Structure 1
Amino acid sequence: MTDQEIANLLIGVLMGGQHTSAATSAWFLLHLAERPDLQDEIYQDIVNLLKSKGPNTTLDDLSYDDLSGLPNVNNVIRETLRLHMPLHSIFRKVMNPLLVPNTNYVVPKGHHVLVAPGYSMTSERWFPQALTFNPHRWDQPDADQQKDDGTTVDYGFGAISKGVNSPYLPFGGGRHRCVGEQFAYCQLGTILTTYVYNLKWSFKPNGKLPEVDYASMVTLPMEPAEIAWEKRDTCSI
Protein backbone atom coordinates (compact mmCIF):
# COMPACT_ATOMS: atom_id res chain seq x y z
CA MET A 1 0.00 0.00 0.00
CA THR A 2 1.14 3.52 -0.70
CA ASP A 3 1.48 6.19 1.99
CA GLN A 4 -1.53 7.95 0.46
CA GLU A 5 -3.67 4.81 0.70
CA ILE A 6 -2.65 4.28 4.32
CA ALA A 7 -3.44 7.92 5.16
CA ASN A 8 -6.83 7.64 3.45
CA LEU A 9 -7.71 4.54 5.48
CA LEU A 10 -6.65 6.16 8.77
CA ILE A 11 -8.74 9.24 7.99
CA GLY A 12 -11.67 6.95 7.21
CA VAL A 13 -11.27 5.17 10.55
CA LEU A 14 -11.15 8.50 12.39
CA MET A 15 -14.26 9.82 10.65
CA GLY A 16 -16.08 6.52 10.97
CA GLY A 17 -15.67 6.40 14.75
CA GLN A 18 -16.39 10.05 15.47
CA HIS A 19 -18.72 11.81 13.05
CA THR A 20 -21.11 8.90 12.64
CA SER A 21 -21.62 8.43 16.38
CA ALA A 22 -22.02 12.18 16.89
CA ALA A 23 -24.74 12.27 14.23
CA THR A 24 -26.53 9.19 15.56
CA SER A 25 -26.53 10.42 19.16
CA ALA A 26 -27.91 13.78 18.01
CA TRP A 27 -30.74 12.01 16.21
CA PHE A 28 -31.75 9.77 19.10
CA LEU A 29 -31.80 12.76 21.45
CA LEU A 30 -34.09 14.58 19.04
CA HIS A 31 -36.42 11.61 18.53
CA LEU A 32 -36.62 10.97 22.27
CA ALA A 33 -37.47 14.64 22.82
CA GLU A 34 -40.81 13.71 21.24
CA ARG A 35 -41.16 10.56 23.34
CA PRO A 36 -40.87 11.12 27.11
CA ASP A 37 -42.51 7.70 27.54
CA LEU A 38 -39.51 6.03 25.91
CA GLN A 39 -37.14 8.05 28.07
CA ASP A 40 -38.96 6.75 31.13
CA GLU A 41 -38.83 3.15 29.89
CA ILE A 42 -35.08 3.37 29.42
CA TYR A 43 -34.67 5.07 32.80
CA GLN A 44 -36.59 2.30 34.55
CA ASP A 45 -34.48 -0.34 32.79
CA ILE A 46 -31.32 1.34 34.08
CA VAL A 47 -32.67 1.67 37.63
CA ASN A 48 -33.70 -2.00 37.69
CA LEU A 49 -30.32 -3.10 36.38
CA LEU A 50 -28.46 -1.06 38.99
CA LYS A 51 -30.62 -2.52 41.76
CA SER A 52 -29.90 -6.04 40.53
CA LYS A 53 -26.16 -5.39 40.83
CA GLY A 54 -26.44 -4.65 44.53
CA PRO A 55 -26.83 -1.70 46.91
CA ASN A 56 -24.97 1.55 46.34
CA THR A 57 -24.38 0.67 42.68
CA THR A 58 -24.00 3.72 40.47
CA LEU A 59 -23.99 4.32 36.74
CA ASP A 60 -20.20 4.20 36.85
CA ASP A 61 -20.45 0.53 37.83
CA LEU A 62 -22.14 -0.51 34.58
CA SER A 63 -19.98 -2.78 32.46
CA TYR A 64 -19.78 -3.51 28.77
CA ASP A 65 -21.83 -6.68 29.31
CA ASP A 66 -24.50 -4.71 31.21
CA LEU A 67 -25.28 -2.67 28.11
CA SER A 68 -26.53 -5.78 26.34
CA GLY A 69 -29.02 -6.19 29.20
CA LEU A 70 -30.74 -2.91 28.32
CA PRO A 71 -32.94 -3.88 25.35
CA ASN A 72 -34.69 -0.52 25.07
CA VAL A 73 -31.33 1.23 24.81
CA ASN A 74 -30.20 -1.02 21.98
CA ASN A 75 -33.59 -0.81 20.27
CA VAL A 76 -33.44 3.00 20.27
CA ILE A 77 -29.97 2.89 18.73
CA ARG A 78 -31.08 0.31 16.16
CA GLU A 79 -34.17 2.31 15.18
CA THR A 80 -32.21 5.56 14.98
CA LEU A 81 -29.71 3.95 12.63
CA ARG A 82 -32.58 2.60 10.53
CA LEU A 83 -34.08 6.06 10.01
CA HIS A 84 -30.80 7.97 9.87
CA MET A 85 -28.04 5.88 8.35
CA PRO A 86 -24.99 8.09 8.97
CA LEU A 87 -23.52 7.50 5.51
CA HIS A 88 -26.28 7.88 2.96
CA SER A 89 -24.14 6.68 0.04
CA ILE A 90 -21.57 3.92 -0.37
CA PHE A 91 -19.24 3.55 -3.36
CA ARG A 92 -17.90 0.23 -4.55
CA LYS A 93 -15.45 -0.46 -7.37
CA VAL A 94 -16.58 -3.25 -9.70
CA MET A 95 -13.85 -5.88 -9.79
CA ASN A 96 -15.63 -8.17 -12.26
CA PRO A 97 -18.41 -7.46 -14.78
CA LEU A 98 -21.60 -7.17 -12.72
CA LEU A 99 -25.02 -8.09 -14.09
CA VAL A 100 -27.79 -5.91 -12.66
CA PRO A 101 -30.49 -8.35 -11.47
CA ASN A 102 -33.59 -8.65 -13.66
CA THR A 103 -32.01 -6.59 -16.46
CA ASN A 104 -29.65 -7.05 -19.39
CA TYR A 105 -27.39 -4.25 -18.12
CA VAL A 106 -23.83 -5.16 -17.13
CA VAL A 107 -21.63 -2.80 -15.10
CA PRO A 108 -18.14 -3.12 -16.61
CA LYS A 109 -15.09 -4.00 -14.58
CA GLY A 110 -13.32 -0.90 -13.23
CA HIS A 111 -16.50 1.19 -13.01
CA HIS A 112 -17.92 2.36 -9.68
CA VAL A 113 -21.43 1.88 -8.34
CA LEU A 114 -23.15 4.01 -5.72
CA VAL A 115 -25.53 2.32 -3.29
CA ALA A 116 -27.94 4.02 -0.88
CA PRO A 117 -28.59 1.38 1.83
CA GLY A 118 -30.94 3.75 3.63
CA TYR A 119 -33.48 3.23 0.87
CA SER A 120 -34.37 -0.30 1.94
CA MET A 121 -34.36 0.67 5.61
CA THR A 122 -37.13 3.21 5.05
CA SER A 123 -39.17 1.05 2.69
CA GLU A 124 -42.70 0.00 3.62
CA ARG A 125 -41.94 -3.32 1.94
CA TRP A 126 -39.69 -4.27 4.82
CA PHE A 127 -40.68 -1.98 7.68
CA PRO A 128 -44.38 -1.17 8.26
CA GLN A 129 -44.88 2.55 9.01
CA ALA A 130 -41.30 2.95 7.92
CA LEU A 131 -41.02 6.68 8.61
CA THR A 132 -42.31 6.35 12.18
CA PHE A 133 -39.75 6.21 14.97
CA ASN A 134 -40.74 3.02 16.78
CA PRO A 135 -37.95 1.25 18.71
CA HIS A 136 -40.40 -1.41 19.85
CA ARG A 137 -40.50 -2.80 16.31
CA TRP A 138 -37.24 -4.48 17.33
CA ASP A 139 -38.68 -6.23 20.39
CA GLN A 140 -39.33 -9.25 18.19
CA PRO A 141 -37.59 -8.70 14.85
CA ASP A 142 -39.53 -10.12 11.94
CA ALA A 143 -37.72 -12.74 9.92
CA ASP A 144 -38.70 -11.02 6.68
CA GLN A 145 -37.02 -7.84 7.87
CA GLN A 146 -33.78 -9.60 8.73
CA LYS A 147 -33.43 -12.06 5.84
CA ASP A 148 -30.27 -13.34 7.52
CA ASP A 149 -29.65 -17.07 7.84
CA GLY A 150 -27.24 -16.59 10.72
CA THR A 151 -24.24 -17.66 8.68
CA THR A 152 -21.00 -16.03 9.78
CA VAL A 153 -17.73 -15.50 7.98
CA ASP A 154 -14.30 -14.35 9.13
CA TYR A 155 -12.60 -11.87 6.81
CA GLY A 156 -9.61 -11.56 9.12
CA PHE A 157 -11.02 -9.54 12.01
CA GLY A 158 -13.35 -12.05 13.68
CA ALA A 159 -16.52 -13.88 12.72
CA ILE A 160 -19.40 -11.61 11.70
CA SER A 161 -22.78 -12.13 10.10
CA LYS A 162 -22.74 -12.02 6.32
CA GLY A 163 -25.79 -9.77 6.51
CA VAL A 164 -25.89 -9.17 2.77
CA ASN A 165 -29.48 -10.41 2.41
CA SER A 166 -30.91 -8.08 5.05
CA PRO A 167 -32.63 -4.79 4.19
CA TYR A 168 -31.18 -3.44 7.46
CA LEU A 169 -27.67 -2.28 6.54
CA PRO A 170 -26.47 0.64 8.69
CA PHE A 171 -23.05 -1.03 8.89
CA GLY A 172 -23.01 -2.38 5.35
CA GLY A 173 -22.52 -6.09 4.69
CA GLY A 174 -20.11 -8.71 3.46
CA ARG A 175 -16.34 -8.37 3.62
CA HIS A 176 -16.61 -4.56 3.78
CA ARG A 177 -19.03 -4.58 6.71
CA CYS A 178 -18.03 -1.96 9.27
CA VAL A 179 -15.56 -3.44 11.78
CA GLY A 180 -16.63 -0.85 14.38
CA GLU A 181 -20.21 -2.08 14.81
CA GLN A 182 -19.78 -3.43 18.34
CA PHE A 183 -17.78 -0.38 19.36
CA ALA A 184 -20.54 1.86 18.01
CA TYR A 185 -23.22 0.15 20.10
CA CYS A 186 -21.00 0.38 23.19
CA GLN A 187 -20.22 4.05 22.59
CA LEU A 188 -23.80 5.05 21.76
CA GLY A 189 -25.20 2.93 24.58
CA THR A 190 -22.92 4.67 27.06
CA ILE A 191 -23.99 8.09 25.79
CA LEU A 192 -27.69 7.24 25.86
CA THR A 193 -27.71 5.67 29.33
CA THR A 194 -25.74 8.61 30.72
CA TYR A 195 -28.22 11.11 29.28
CA VAL A 196 -31.34 9.25 30.39
CA TYR A 197 -30.13 8.49 33.91
CA ASN A 198 -29.18 12.10 34.53
CA LEU A 199 -31.60 14.18 32.48
CA LYS A 200 -35.09 14.51 31.05
CA TRP A 201 -35.53 16.54 27.90
CA SER A 202 -38.04 17.79 25.37
CA PHE A 203 -38.19 20.24 22.49
CA LYS A 204 -38.19 23.92 23.26
CA PRO A 205 -41.54 25.69 22.74
CA ASN A 206 -42.54 25.45 19.07
CA GLY A 207 -39.63 23.09 18.49
CA LYS A 208 -39.91 20.01 16.29
CA LEU A 209 -37.87 17.27 14.71
CA PRO A 210 -35.56 18.93 12.15
CA GLU A 211 -35.10 18.00 8.52
CA VAL A 212 -32.10 15.94 7.39
CA ASP A 213 -29.09 17.65 5.86
CA TYR A 214 -28.09 15.28 3.07
CA ALA A 215 -25.50 17.74 1.75
CA SER A 216 -23.21 17.16 4.73
CA MET A 217 -20.72 14.30 4.88
CA VAL A 218 -22.96 12.48 7.37
CA THR A 219 -26.73 12.87 7.69
CA LEU A 220 -26.89 15.64 10.28
CA PRO A 221 -30.01 17.39 11.60
CA MET A 222 -30.53 20.82 10.11
CA GLU A 223 -30.59 23.83 12.41
CA PRO A 224 -32.36 24.68 14.60
CA ALA A 225 -32.04 21.37 16.44
CA GLU A 226 -32.47 22.26 20.09
CA ILE A 227 -33.78 20.54 23.20
CA ALA A 228 -34.58 21.77 26.69
CA TRP A 229 -33.44 19.58 29.58
CA GLU A 230 -33.86 19.26 33.32
CA LYS A 231 -31.99 17.19 35.88
CA ARG A 232 -33.43 14.00 37.29
CA ASP A 233 -33.26 13.22 41.00
CA THR A 234 -30.52 10.71 40.24
CA CYS A 235 -28.43 13.25 38.32
CA SER A 236 -24.74 13.05 39.20
CA ILE A 237 -23.33 15.50 36.66
Structure 2
Amino acid sequence: MTSHIPIIAIDGPSASGKGTVAKLVAEKLNFHYLDSGSIYRTIAYAGRLQNIPLNNEALLLKVLEKANLSFKNDHILLNGKDVSEAIRSEESGRGASEVAVHRALREAILGFQRSFEKSPGLVAEGRDMTSVVFPHAGIKIFLTASAQIRAERRYKQLISKGNPANMASVLSEIILRDERDLQREISPLLKTKDAIEIDTDTLSISDAVDNITHLFSLKSQTS
Protein backbone atom coordinates (compact mmCIF):
# COMPACT_ATOMS: atom_id res chain seq x y z
CA MET A 1 0.00 0.00 0.00
CA THR A 2 1.32 3.43 -0.87
CA SER A 3 -0.06 6.85 -0.04
CA HIS A 4 0.77 10.48 -0.71
CA ILE A 5 -0.70 11.39 2.68
CA PRO A 6 2.05 11.83 5.31
CA ILE A 7 1.77 9.38 8.19
CA ILE A 8 3.69 9.32 11.45
CA ALA A 9 3.20 5.93 13.12
CA ILE A 10 4.16 5.55 16.77
CA ASP A 11 4.30 2.25 18.64
CA GLY A 12 5.37 1.51 22.18
CA PRO A 13 4.52 -0.30 25.41
CA SER A 14 1.94 0.76 27.95
CA ALA A 15 2.54 4.13 29.68
CA SER A 16 5.53 4.99 27.48
CA GLY A 17 4.00 8.40 26.81
CA LYS A 18 3.11 7.65 23.21
CA GLY A 19 -0.47 8.87 23.55
CA THR A 20 0.50 12.28 24.89
CA VAL A 21 3.40 12.62 22.46
CA ALA A 22 1.34 11.54 19.44
CA LYS A 23 -1.50 13.91 20.27
CA LEU A 24 0.87 16.87 20.69
CA VAL A 25 2.68 16.05 17.44
CA ALA A 26 -0.68 15.92 15.65
CA GLU A 27 -1.69 19.28 17.12
CA LYS A 28 1.64 20.83 16.19
CA LEU A 29 1.38 19.64 12.58
CA ASN A 30 -2.41 20.08 12.38
CA PHE A 31 -2.74 16.38 11.47
CA HIS A 32 -5.48 13.90 12.27
CA TYR A 33 -4.86 11.75 15.35
CA LEU A 34 -5.61 8.07 15.93
CA ASP A 35 -5.43 6.56 19.41
CA SER A 36 -5.83 2.91 18.41
CA GLY A 37 -5.75 1.71 22.00
CA SER A 38 -9.01 3.53 22.71
CA ILE A 39 -10.74 1.27 20.18
CA TYR A 40 -9.73 -1.86 22.09
CA ARG A 41 -10.57 -0.19 25.39
CA THR A 42 -14.04 0.65 24.08
CA ILE A 43 -14.63 -2.90 22.86
CA ALA A 44 -13.59 -4.22 26.27
CA TYR A 45 -15.82 -1.66 27.99
CA ALA A 46 -18.80 -2.56 25.78
CA GLY A 47 -18.21 -6.25 26.37
CA ARG A 48 -18.15 -5.85 30.13
CA LEU A 49 -21.36 -3.80 30.05
CA GLN A 50 -23.00 -6.88 28.55
CA ASN A 51 -21.21 -9.29 30.91
CA ILE A 52 -19.34 -10.90 28.03
CA PRO A 53 -16.12 -12.74 28.91
CA LEU A 54 -13.26 -10.98 27.15
CA ASN A 55 -11.84 -14.31 26.00
CA ASN A 56 -15.01 -14.99 23.96
CA GLU A 57 -14.02 -13.71 20.53
CA ALA A 58 -17.28 -14.65 18.81
CA LEU A 59 -19.45 -12.68 21.23
CA LEU A 60 -17.07 -9.71 21.19
CA LEU A 61 -17.32 -9.64 17.40
CA LYS A 62 -21.10 -9.43 17.71
CA VAL A 63 -20.70 -6.54 20.14
CA LEU A 64 -18.44 -4.79 17.64
CA GLU A 65 -20.86 -5.41 14.76
CA LYS A 66 -23.73 -3.79 16.66
CA ALA A 67 -21.71 -0.97 18.18
CA ASN A 68 -21.66 2.52 16.71
CA LEU A 69 -18.12 3.66 17.49
CA SER A 70 -16.96 7.12 16.48
CA PHE A 71 -14.39 9.79 17.34
CA LYS A 72 -15.47 13.42 17.63
CA ASN A 73 -13.26 16.30 18.78
CA ASP A 74 -11.02 14.05 20.91
CA HIS A 75 -14.07 12.31 22.40
CA ILE A 76 -14.88 8.63 21.93
CA LEU A 77 -18.55 7.92 21.39
CA LEU A 78 -20.14 4.50 21.83
CA ASN A 79 -23.69 4.38 20.50
CA GLY A 80 -23.85 8.16 20.88
CA LYS A 81 -22.61 8.16 24.48
CA ASP A 82 -19.31 9.79 25.43
CA VAL A 83 -17.17 7.07 27.03
CA SER A 84 -13.86 8.96 26.88
CA GLU A 85 -13.39 8.96 30.66
CA ALA A 86 -14.97 5.58 31.34
CA ILE A 87 -12.52 3.71 29.11
CA ARG A 88 -9.47 5.26 30.81
CA SER A 89 -9.82 3.11 33.91
CA GLU A 90 -7.18 0.50 34.72
CA GLU A 91 -9.88 -2.14 34.22
CA SER A 92 -10.47 -0.99 30.65
CA GLY A 93 -6.73 -0.92 30.07
CA ARG A 94 -6.42 -4.53 31.17
CA GLY A 95 -9.45 -5.39 29.07
CA ALA A 96 -7.92 -3.79 25.99
CA SER A 97 -4.86 -5.99 26.36
CA GLU A 98 -7.10 -9.06 26.67
CA VAL A 99 -9.30 -8.39 23.62
CA ALA A 100 -6.30 -7.38 21.49
CA VAL A 101 -5.17 -11.02 21.26
CA HIS A 102 -8.16 -11.95 19.05
CA ARG A 103 -7.19 -12.22 15.38
CA ALA A 104 -10.68 -11.74 13.90
CA LEU A 105 -11.30 -8.72 16.11
CA ARG A 106 -8.07 -7.06 15.03
CA GLU A 107 -8.90 -7.73 11.38
CA ALA A 108 -12.42 -6.36 11.85
CA ILE A 109 -11.20 -2.95 13.03
CA LEU A 110 -8.36 -2.64 10.52
CA GLY A 111 -10.49 -0.78 7.98
CA PHE A 112 -11.80 1.60 10.65
CA GLN A 113 -8.26 2.42 11.75
CA ARG A 114 -7.08 3.00 8.19
CA SER A 115 -10.02 5.35 7.55
CA PHE A 116 -8.14 7.94 9.63
CA GLU A 117 -5.58 8.23 6.84
CA LYS A 118 -6.78 11.58 5.51
CA SER A 119 -5.27 14.83 4.31
CA PRO A 120 -3.36 16.80 5.51
CA GLY A 121 -1.79 13.91 7.43
CA LEU A 122 -2.09 11.44 10.31
CA VAL A 123 -0.33 10.66 13.56
CA ALA A 124 -1.31 7.16 14.69
CA GLU A 125 -0.23 5.49 17.92
CA GLY A 126 -0.64 2.01 19.32
CA ARG A 127 1.09 -1.37 19.36
CA ASP A 128 1.07 -2.34 15.66
CA MET A 129 0.78 0.96 13.80
CA THR A 130 4.25 0.64 12.22
CA SER A 131 4.09 -3.08 11.53
CA VAL A 132 0.51 -3.88 10.49
CA VAL A 133 -1.87 -0.94 10.21
CA PHE A 134 0.37 1.61 8.50
CA PRO A 135 3.48 -0.27 7.30
CA HIS A 136 3.81 2.38 4.57
CA ALA A 137 4.16 5.24 7.08
CA GLY A 138 6.86 7.71 6.13
CA ILE A 139 8.04 8.06 9.72
CA LYS A 140 7.99 5.19 12.20
CA ILE A 141 8.74 5.71 15.87
CA PHE A 142 9.16 3.20 18.68
CA LEU A 143 8.64 5.12 21.91
CA THR A 144 9.79 3.28 25.01
CA ALA A 145 10.90 3.60 28.64
CA SER A 146 11.79 1.23 31.47
CA ALA A 147 8.97 -0.58 33.27
CA GLN A 148 9.83 1.24 36.50
CA ILE A 149 9.62 4.69 34.93
CA ARG A 150 6.39 3.82 33.14
CA ALA A 151 4.86 2.49 36.35
CA GLU A 152 5.80 5.69 38.20
CA ARG A 153 4.13 7.77 35.47
CA ARG A 154 0.98 5.67 35.51
CA TYR A 155 0.84 5.77 39.33
CA LYS A 156 1.11 9.59 39.37
CA GLN A 157 -1.52 9.82 36.63
CA LEU A 158 -3.98 7.69 38.60
CA ILE A 159 -3.40 9.62 41.83
CA SER A 160 -3.80 12.97 40.06
CA LYS A 161 -7.22 11.85 38.82
CA GLY A 162 -8.30 10.82 42.30
CA ASN A 163 -8.11 7.10 41.61
CA PRO A 164 -6.78 4.75 44.30
CA ALA A 165 -3.45 3.23 43.28
CA ASN A 166 -0.68 1.07 44.69
CA MET A 167 2.79 1.45 43.16
CA ALA A 168 3.67 -2.24 43.44
CA SER A 169 0.39 -3.25 41.80
CA VAL A 170 0.82 -0.71 39.00
CA LEU A 171 4.34 -1.99 38.26
CA SER A 172 3.10 -5.58 38.29
CA GLU A 173 0.31 -4.68 35.86
CA ILE A 174 2.76 -2.88 33.54
CA ILE A 175 5.02 -5.95 33.44
CA LEU A 176 2.04 -8.25 32.83
CA ARG A 177 0.77 -6.11 29.94
CA ASP A 178 4.27 -6.00 28.46
CA GLU A 179 4.42 -9.79 28.46
CA ARG A 180 0.98 -10.07 26.90
CA ASP A 181 1.75 -7.47 24.21
CA LEU A 182 5.15 -8.92 23.33
CA GLN A 183 4.19 -12.58 23.35
CA ARG A 184 0.78 -12.59 21.68
CA GLU A 185 0.66 -14.50 18.42
CA ILE A 186 -1.27 -11.83 16.52
CA SER A 187 0.39 -8.45 15.87
CA PRO A 188 2.78 -8.53 18.83
CA LEU A 189 4.42 -5.32 19.97
CA LEU A 190 7.74 -5.01 18.18
CA LYS A 191 10.19 -2.45 16.89
CA THR A 192 10.29 -2.63 13.10
CA LYS A 193 13.66 -2.44 11.38
CA ASP A 194 12.86 0.97 9.92
CA ALA A 195 11.53 2.47 13.16
CA ILE A 196 13.49 5.07 15.12
CA GLU A 197 13.63 4.31 18.84
CA ILE A 198 13.08 7.14 21.29
CA ASP A 199 13.70 6.32 24.96
CA THR A 200 11.74 8.62 27.27
CA ASP A 201 13.37 7.50 30.53
CA THR A 202 15.16 10.85 30.78
CA LEU A 203 13.52 12.66 27.88
CA SER A 204 10.68 15.11 28.48
CA ILE A 205 7.43 14.97 26.56
CA SER A 206 8.21 18.27 24.84
CA ASP A 207 11.65 17.02 23.77
CA ALA A 208 10.14 13.83 22.34
CA VAL A 209 7.59 15.91 20.42
CA ASP A 210 10.33 18.20 19.11
CA ASN A 211 12.42 15.21 18.00
CA ILE A 212 9.55 13.74 16.00
CA THR A 213 8.46 17.00 14.39
CA HIS A 214 12.10 17.66 13.47
CA LEU A 215 12.29 14.23 11.82
CA PHE A 216 9.13 15.05 9.90
CA SER A 217 10.56 18.39 8.79
CA LEU A 218 13.73 16.72 7.52
CA LYS A 219 11.70 14.02 5.76
CA SER A 220 9.50 16.65 4.08
CA GLN A 221 12.54 18.52 2.79
CA THR A 222 14.05 15.43 1.17
CA SER A 223 10.87 13.92 -0.30
Q: In which range does the TM-score fall when normalised by the shorter chain? A: under 0.3
TM (norm. structure 2) is 0.24
Higher helix share: 2
TM (norm. structure 1) is 0.24
Q: Which has the larger radius of gyration?
A: 1
